[in-house]
Structures are given as C-alpha cells and as structure tokens.
C-alpha cells in the first residue's frame, strides 16, 4: 500500500487540473514551491535537486529582466524608433543613430517565448518533484538522492537523457526558424522595410489577401501568379512522381527478367547516372538544350530542322523538357528502390496467375503494382513532397522561365519554391515569400497525412492481401 501511495497520479491529469491537485494535496512546503522552485526538495534532504531548480528560476528571472523584456515589450509594434540623425555636440555634425531593429525584436521575442514555455515545463517538473518528496516523507521513506536520480537517468530513463540534446537542437534549428518564418508572413518585411535602416510592422492577413485578390493592380498580379504557379506545381508533382515511379519499376522488371544478359552492367549504368552530381547533369542539359546550344546546331547541320527549337524558351516546350529531364535524374532512384522489393514478391503468385491464364500485363496490375504500392507508399509520399519542393530541376534548367508579363516576378515553369526563392533573394520580399512558404507547408503536410492514413501501409500494417 505504501508503494502504491508513492505513485504520482498527476501524470495522467491535464495541466491545470494537475496544478490544482498539487496545490490542494500538497503541504505548506509543496505550496511554497509554487513560488520558490525546489523549496520542497530542499526541505526534504534533496538539496542538490532543490538548488538546481532554484538556480534555474534565478537564471530565468535574470534572463527575462536583463535581456528578454527589452524585446518582448516591443513585440506588439516591432519597434517605434528607426534609424535617425542626431546632433553630436562632440563632433559638431549630425550623425546617424541606430534605433529599434524589427528583425531582432521579432527573433528574440520568439526565442524568449520558447524559453518561457520551457521554463513552465521545468516549473511543473519542480512541483512534481516536491510533491513526490512529500509522498515519500508521508510514507516514512527517504526521498531518492541526487546520485539515485543520476542512476535513473542512465538506466530506466536513459531514453529521455539521449533525447534531451536532439530535442533542444530541434527547438533551436527547426521550431524557432519555422515560427520566425510564419510570423514574418504577417508583417510588411520587404525591400522598403529593411532593418536596421527602416522598421517593419504587423499587417495582419494582408499578404494572404494579396494572394487571393483578383480585383486589379499589383495584388491582382500576385493572385494570378499564385494560382497559376500552384496549378503547375501540382501538375508537375503528380506527373514527375508517378512517371519516375512507374518507369523506374518497369526498368527494374525488365532488368530482373529471366534471360536478360549483363544485368550487372545495366544496373551499373543507372548507378553511374546517380553518382554524377545532379546539379552537374542539370546545368549541362541546360546548355545542350539552349536555343543556340549543341543540340539545335546538330539538328540544323543534319537537316532535321530549319529554325531553332525553343526547348527552354517556349512555355509548353519548357514544361515538357523539365519533365523529360526529370526522368533522366529520377528513374535510376526508383529502379534501385523497386529492384529489391520486386525480388521479394512470392513467385507462387505469378505461377498461380500464369496457370489461370493471366497475361503479363494482367499480372503487373493485379500482383506487382498492388504489392509495390503497399510497400512503397511512404516512399511515394516522400517523392511527391520532394517534387513539390524540387528546386534543382526547375531552377538549374530554366531559371523558372520563360518569363511572362502577367506573372509577378515569376516564369511559366516556376514552382512555388522557386518563386519563393526569387522573391527572397532577388526582390527581398520576405513577407510574401513567407506567406508562400506557409502554403507550401500546408499543401505538403495535408496531402502527406491524408494519403498515408488512407493507404494500406498505415491501415493494414504488416499485412498484404
């Protein structure tokens, strides 16, 4: 019964209900721990643990008052004083004096908010530790010491120890930049509002409205560009994914067929295609397919054409070209992935189908393709999302061209990701680029989760029928 009393029932409670439970069931030491972290541990012979909690509280207070507050206090406006000229009595001239920096205000505010969330977690852990020490005391047991806690972290809670550093790195290099990028979408951070010279401020959903405003003016051009590029991005992603997948699978089936000679040679040729850096192949293809490139020159010399073929400067030709070149760089990956899976399909299925009179095409659609889709659906989702964000093929081949006047800083082969790149690097329109980035994330995440949860890979795990 004493061991049962030492269990911590608050682990299964919600955050607020747990705090209420800890306060109402705690003694005066535990309740005082709500204000002084680790006080209950200090009073019950857990000095090191209590001091660590108290030091973390002191460090948090010092950080918030000494550094974070100067930025959090300006978070609502992102600064009010820009760079300005002030008269210098010492130099007897006007000098430029830096004011607020909107970017640093936003960045450090987001970081400080994450620090507050992390501190709340530590505060909660402190209350749990103090309450658990109280339970030990009431049961007549000595609370575990610091050495025992260290041993626990290296044994039964070792998984938490290992995951601590990766979790902190994820917050620092993934969650923080993502939140910063999302918030930029709600500002007017562009070439005309560049800190520290100029401030930028909150504009609400103005950037989102511009992408859906077809009424006229610059906003209408943005909306037309967004809708056009979004449509082409989805067409590109679907065609590029499934053509690579199906043709790679067909190549793998052909190489694995009985009677095919020099199988190792064929596989080696495709592996060499992968071994060559992709950007080298793409830049070489862009030069070969140029209007004045070697391919057009050879076709003219051989008498096949009289005028140069605009492989990259005509909208339809450019889109067909990028899809064709994408086959060159994508089929080898699909071939290697599907080769190993094809070898694991039970031969009995094909023998039974052959006895029943099934043709090779019928066996492909009834046995091979369903089995492959069942196993490789996660790969297909990854490939689809990768093609939505396939920067290399588009940018290195066509630079997003051909450019057209009805598009805002974009061309007919631009994907959302390449348009985002142009807006960021060339135009320094960070707010609009961040807005587009949010849409890319929503599209990728929604389609990925929806398709995966509806697939047999998720619904019939470890089962194939």
- 193 within some domain: no
Q: Among 114-123, 154-163, 371-380, name the most confident range.
A: 114-123
Same domain, 178 and 231: no
- 464 within some domain: no
Average pLDDT value over all residues in the chain: 87
Band of residue 364 on the pLDDT scale cut at 50, 70, 90: confident
Same domain, 176 and 297: no
Q: Assess contact for 225 and 218: CB atoms under 8 A.
A: no
pLDDT at 15 over 90: no
Q: Assess contact for 190 and 430: CB atoms under 8 A.
A: yes
Bridge partners, residue 87, by sequence = 94
Same domain, 70 and 116: yes
Same domain, 162 and 233: no
313-335 tens-digit pLDDT: 999 999 999 999 999 888 988 99
Band of residue 460 on the pLDDT scale cut at 50, 70, 90: low
Same domain, 242 and 332: yes
Q: Which residues, 6 or more positions from 329, have their beta carbon under 8 angstroms from its beta carbon?
A: 273, 278, 281, 282, 393
- 116 within some domain: yes
pTM of the model: 0.83
- 192 within some domain: no
Same domain, 303 and 382: yes
Q: What are phi and psi of 68, to 5 degrees?
A: -70, -35
Q: Could you give the CA distance from residue 376 to residue 337 in angstroms, rounded to a whole number?
A: 9
pLDDT at 86 over 80: no
393-448 tens-digit pLDDT: 999 999 998 988 889 889 999 999 999 999 999 889 999 999 999 999 999 999 88
Distances (CA, A) of 57 to 30, 35, 118, 297: 16, 10, 12, 73
Same domain, 103 and 243: no
Q: Assess contact for 411 and 402: CB atoms under 8 A.
A: yes
Q: Which residues, 6 or more positions from 344, have their beta carbon under 8 angstroms from its beta carbon?
A: none
Same domain, 235 and 342: yes
Band of residue 216 on the pLDDT scale cut at 50, 70, 90: low
Same domain, 344 and 448: yes
Q: Assess contact for 270 and 262: CB atoms under 8 A.
A: no
pLDDT at 5 over 90: no
Q: Which residues, 6 or more positions from 145, have their beta carbon under 8 angstroms from its beta carbon?
A: 45, 46, 48
Among residues 452, 390, 402, the alpha carbon closest in space to that of 235 is found at: 390
Number of domains in the chain: 2
Same domain, 352 and 424: yes
- 455 within some domain: yes
Structural domain that includes position 123? 2-184
Same domain, 384 and 260: yes
Least-confidence region, from 152-156, 321-325, 456-460? 456-460
pLDDT at 88 over 70: no
Which of 184, 207, 230 represents a domain boundary (last residue)? Answer: 184
Same domain, 265 and 346: yes
């Amino acid at each position: 019964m004493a061991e049962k009393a030492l269990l911590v029932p608050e682990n299964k409670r919600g955050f607020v209900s747990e705090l209420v439970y800890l306060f109402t069931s705690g003694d005066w030491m535990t309740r005082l721990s709500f204000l002084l972290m680790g006080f209950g541990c200090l009073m019950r012979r857990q000095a090191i643990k209590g001091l660590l909690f108290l030091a973390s509280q002191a460090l948090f207070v010092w950080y918030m008052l000494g550094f974070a507050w100067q930025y959090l206090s300006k978070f609502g406006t992102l600064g009010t004083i820009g760079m300005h000229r002030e008269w210098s009595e010492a130099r007897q001239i006007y000098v430029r004096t830096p004011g607020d920096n909107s970017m640093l205000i936003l960045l450090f505010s987001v970081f400080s908010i994450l620090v507050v969330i992390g501190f709340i977690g530590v505060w909660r852990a402190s209350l749990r530790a103090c309450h658990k020490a109280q339970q030990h005391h009431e049961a007549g047991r000595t609370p575990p010491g610091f050495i025992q806690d260290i041993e626990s972290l290296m044994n039964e809670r070792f998984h938490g120890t290992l995951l601590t550093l990766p979790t902190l790195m994820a917050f620092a290099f993934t969650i923080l930049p993502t939140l910063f990028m999302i918030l930029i979408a709600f500002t007017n951070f562009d070439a005309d509002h560049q800190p520290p010279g100029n401030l930028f401020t909150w504009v609400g959903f103005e950037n989102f409205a511009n992408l859906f405003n077809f009424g006229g003016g610059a906003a209408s051009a943005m909306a037309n560009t967004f809708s056009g590029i979004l449509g082409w991005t989805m067409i590109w992603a679907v065609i590029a994914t499934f053509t690579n997948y199906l043709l790679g699978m067909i190549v793998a089936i052909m190489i694995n067929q009985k009677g095919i000679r020099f199988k190792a040679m064929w596989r080696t040729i495709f592996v060499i295609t992968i071994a060559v850096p992709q950007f080298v192949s793409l830049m070489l293809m862009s030069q070969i397919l140029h209007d004045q490139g070697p391919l057009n020159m050879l076709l003219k010399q051989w008498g096949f054409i009289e005028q140069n073929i605009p492989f990259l400067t005509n909208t339809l030709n450019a889109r067909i070209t990028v899809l064709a070149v994408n086959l060159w760089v994508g089929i080898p990956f699909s071939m290697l992935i599907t080769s190993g899976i094809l070898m694991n399909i039970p031969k009995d299925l094909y023998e039974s189908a052959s006895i029943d009179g099934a043709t090779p095409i019928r066996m492909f659609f009834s046995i091979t393709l369903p089995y492959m889709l069942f196993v490789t659906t996660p790969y297909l989702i990854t490939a689809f999302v990768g093609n939505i964000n396939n920067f290399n093929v588009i940018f290195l081949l066509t630079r997003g061209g051909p450019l057209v006047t009805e598009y805002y800083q974009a061309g007919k082969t631009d994907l959302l990701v390449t348009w985002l790149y142009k807006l960021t690097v060339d135009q320094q329109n960070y707010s609009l680029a961040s807005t587009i980035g949010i849409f890319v994330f929503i599209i990728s995440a929604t389609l990925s989760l929806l398709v995966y949860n509806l697939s047999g890979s998720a619904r019939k795990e470890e089962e194939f029928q």
